[in-house]
Amino acid sequence: MGDVFSNLLTGFQNALTLTNIGFGFLGVFIGTLVGVIPGIGPINAIALLIPLSFGLDPVTGLILLTGVYYGSMYGGSTTSILVRTPGEVASIVTTLDGYEMARQGRAGPALSTAAIGSFIAGTLALVGLMFLAPVIAKAAYYFGSAEYFLLIILAMSMISSLSTGSALKGYISVFIGLAVATVGIDPQSGINRFTFGITNLLDGIDFILFSIALFAIPEALSNIGKKKLETKMQIQKIKGSLWMNREDWKRSIGPYGRGSVLGFLIGALPGIGPSLASFMSYAMEKKISKHPEKFGKGAIEGVSGPEAANNAGVGGALVPLFTLGIPGSATTALLLYVFMMYGLQPGPGMFETNSTLIWAIIASMYVGNVILLLLNLPLVGLFASLLKIPLVPLFVGVLAFSVLGVYSINFNSFDLILLFIFGLVGYGMQYFNIPLAPAVMALVLGGLMEENFRRTMNISNGNIFVFFERPVSIALIIVIVLVVIVPGILSIMKKRRQKNASAEEGINIS
């Protein structure tokens, strides 16, 4: 425990330099703006900012980009409460009771409980990250190439099966990402793969280009292409005090604690991220409430619990990233790329070889949580006024920044052709409701998966049963099978229950 606090102290010494405080403030401010404006999201914002962080020190660059990540979770609650339009996926649940509170003239307490809950949950999640990450990092030393291969398969299976409506579409997205990951020179044999004689493809498809093409381009095109855009939104006014009364505090304390624990644990699962945590927190609070009938009609627990859960999920999602090198969500997949861009490989070795950087990021998140609390409440009116920006010029600007950001990576016009091609691919995926996040994770993890599989096969002389020799491998295989099979079984059972219910209803009517 002494090592943890001494490392954290060193982290604060690095995080509290004027440069890092400045970029930390910039990151959380941009994150809040991104969370407030619907349709952009932290993935697009981080992808567009990565080229601008090329010249920064690794610590400063990562402080900036992680600030955007957790800052966006704060900002999404503002639009959910005042406009009933979530700025980020994880804030969808907040619209149910937050907007109803605003309609009843209680927008102030709704915004307060969201901001305070996010601050408390974010701080508790960082405490969990501090103590849990080093333990997992030490345990990860017992992982061989076989275990890492299976862990990557588990991560991609979870995001395909658990975070989307259709598991099949999730797996289609994974295979698209893996196909893109194979383009370029084979790292072992040196053979060109799927380059079609184009020298610009020898180095593979750039991860940032692919991410911007898949997320920013389709979102911009779909919004610009709409025949009718709502440029004037009905914004609920903030009446009375911003602060919560004694009754609000009493009803919010429990959801803060439960949401923080639930969000951290779910966020720490590879491939899921914080969005699912907010939905589960809402369901839990409604189930244990003495007055479940009030949910959906302005229950403050329906705001405090989910907001705590989605912000705690950010800290949880960093656990597998820092300790195992496995992203917990599509956004942390971008952060994994940033680590690799700076020549760093997240994993158990990071806590020994680059402990200064890791602890500086953790310390900066403590500072960022305080900045966000100070930003959100006094400036909530300013952030809400951003919703008056016409959407067409906004998304035209997103397109312009996308083109500029991709071109600045290699200053190569061929990258703009790829941006257009993958933008159309992303638009098609969005049209057919194929999730985009699994493709991004598959691209960043595809190389690691192939590397560990080949290493395992070389060590075992091609013996596939090497995956069944160690207890950890067997446990991972069992979990993978359950993750793949259980959602299908639950879906079949649900359809059967609905069919039986319809049949019974038909009998009763007759």
Residue-wise pLDDT for 128-159, tens only, equals 888 887 777 777 667 788 888 888 888 788 77
- Measure the CA–CA gap between 241 and 53, rounded to whole angstroms: 40
Residue 361 has pLDDT above 60, yes or no: yes
**Per-residue b/e over 298-312, b at no fewer than 16 CB within 10 Å?**
bbbbbbbbbbbbbbb
State pLDDT tens for residues 15-33.
Answer: 888 888 888 888 888 888 7
pTM, entire model: 0.68
Q: What is the mean pLDDT of residues 489-501?
A: 75
* Distance between start and end Cα atoms, the chain: 70
Q: What is the mean pLDDT of residues 97-109?
A: 82
Which of 210-224, 233-247, 430-444 is predicted with the least confidence, judged by mean pLDDT? Answer: 233-247
- Measure the CA–CA gap between 159 and 236, rounded to whole angstroms: 36
Nearest to 281 by CA among 266, 297, 299: 266
- Measure the CA–CA gap between 359 and 367, rounded to whole angstroms: 12
State pLDDT tens for residues 74-96.
Answer: 777 777 777 666 656 666 678 77
Structure tokens that stand for 64 in this block: 């900036």
Q: What is the pLDDT of residue 232?
A: 47
Cα pseudo-dihedral 113, 117, 118, 123, rounded to 10: 150
Long-range Cβ contacts of 221-229 (<8 Å, 24+ apart): 221/399, 221/423, 221/427, 222/427, 222/430, 223/39, 223/391, 223/392, 223/395, 224/392, 224/395, 224/396, 224/399, 229/390, 229/391, 229/392
More confident residue, 325 or 180: 180
Q: Please state, as a whole number, how many other Cβ atoms lie within 10 Å of the Cβ of residue 144.
A: 17
The sign of the CA dihedral 350, 356, 359, 360 is: negative
- Name the phi and psi angles at 364, rounded to 5: -65, -30
**DSSP letters for 360-418:** HHHHHHHHHHHHHHHHHTTTHHHHHHGGGS-HHHHHHHHHHHHHHHHHHHH--HHHHHH
Q: 206: Cβ–Cβ under 8 A, 6 or more apart, which residues?
A: 406, 409, 410, 415
Per mean pLDDT, which of 233-247, 258-272, 292-306, 323-337 is the most reliable?
292-306
Q: Residue 326 gets which letter from DSSP?
A: -
Q: Rounded to 5 degrees, what angle do the CA atoms 8, 118, 242 make? A: 130
| Percent of the chain predicted with pLDDT > 90 | 5
Q: 119: Cβ–Cβ under 8 A, 6 or more apart, which residues?
A: 311, 369, 370, 372, 373
Residue 45 has pLDDT above 80, yes or no: no
pLDDT-derived band at 355, boundaries 50, 70, 90 = confident
Q: Please state, as a whole number, how many other Cβ atoms lie within 10 Å of the Cβ of residue 342.
A: 17
Distances, alpha carbon 457 to alpha carbons 192, 295, 403, 453, in Å = 22, 54, 41, 6
- Measure the CA–CA gap between 434 and 169, rounded to whole angstroms: 5
- Measure the CA–CA gap between 42 and 144, rounded to whole angstroms: 33
**Count of helix runs (H) and strand runs (E) in the chain:** 20, 2
Q: 411: Cβ–Cβ under 8 A, 6 or more apart, which residues?
A: none
- Name the phi and psi angles at 6, rounded to 5: -65, -40
SS3 184: strand
